[in-house]
């Protein structure tokens, strides 16, 4: 199965469930024997926790920013909650993962506040479309057009 849930839909009520997620690697943070990866899809961001065993595998075959990753694990409550995102109360303790697609390092960060200028963002428009602000504009335009057509 490609995925059981999207990155934006898991909450504390899903604690203990075995889930499979797929998305783009947004950030990687290493803390000794464990690694945290923020996985992003079009619905949101979820934090993945890689323990000691999988951390060794990550060092052998490290994912980079914007790699497409599929990860399976158990939903657990986060010790450091993040109130800024809807999935900030949970993290996924990963039991297995697979790199579905490797990517070259993008020319700018794909976040709400990006370091890319307008020229570079327009040159790589297909990457810019992954940003939340652009995505929300497209969804709003779609909703307005749909409402006008249904009227």
What CATH number is associated with residue 33?
Answer: 2.40.50.140
Per-residue pLDDT band at 121 (split at 50, 70, 90): confident
The arithmetic mean of pLDDT across residues 48-55, rounded, is 90
Residue 1 falls inside a structural domain: no
23 and 70 both lie in a single domain: yes
Same domain, 20 and 90: yes
Is residue 5 in some structural domain?
A: no
pTM of the full predicted structure?
Answer: 0.80
What is the model's pLDDT at position 73?
96
- Comparing 78 with 127, which gets the higher pLDDT? 78
In terms of domains, do 96 and 125 share one? no
Residue 28 belongs to a domain: yes
96 shares its domain with 123 = no
Q: Do residue 54 and residue 29 come from a single domain?
A: yes
Are 94 and 137 found together in one domain?
A: no
Share of the chain above pLDDT 90, in %: 54
Give the count of domains, the chain.
2
pLDDT over 80 (residue 69): yes
Q: Where does the pLDDT of residue 24 fall: very low under 50, low under 70, confident under 90, or very high at 90 and above?
A: very high
Domain boundaries, position 136: 118-150
Q: Are residues 18 and 91 in the same domain?
A: yes
pLDDT band at 19 (very low <50, low <70, confident <90, very high): very high
For the chain, give the secondary structure using H, E and C.
CCCCCCCCCCCHHHCCCEEEEEEEEEEEEEECCEEEEEEEECCEEEEEEECHHHHHHHHHCCCCCCCEEEEEEEEEECCCCCCCCCCCCEEEEEEEEEEEECCCCCCCCCCCCCCCCHHHHHHCHHHHCCCHHHHHHHHHHHHHHHHHHHC
């Amino acid at each position: 199965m490609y995925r059981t849930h999207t990155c934006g839909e898991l909450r504390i009520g899903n604690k203990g469930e075995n889930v499979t997620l797929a998305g783009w690697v947004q950030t990687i943070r290493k803390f000794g024997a464990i690694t945290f990866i923020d996985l992003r899809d079009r619905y949101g961001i979820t934090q993945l926790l890689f323990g000691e065993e999988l951390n060794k595998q990550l060092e052998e075959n490290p994912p980079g920013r914007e790699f497409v990753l599929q990860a399976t694990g158990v939903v657990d409550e986060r010790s450091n909650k993040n109130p800024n995102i809807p999935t900030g109360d949970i993290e996924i303790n990963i039991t297995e993962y697979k790199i579905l697609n490797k990517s070259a390092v993008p020319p700018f960060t794909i976040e709400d506040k990006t370091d890319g200028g307008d020229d570079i963002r327009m040159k790589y428009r297909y990457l810019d479309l992954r940003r939340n602000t652009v995505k929300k504009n497209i969804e709003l335009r779609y909703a307005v057009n749909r409402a006008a057509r249904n009227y």
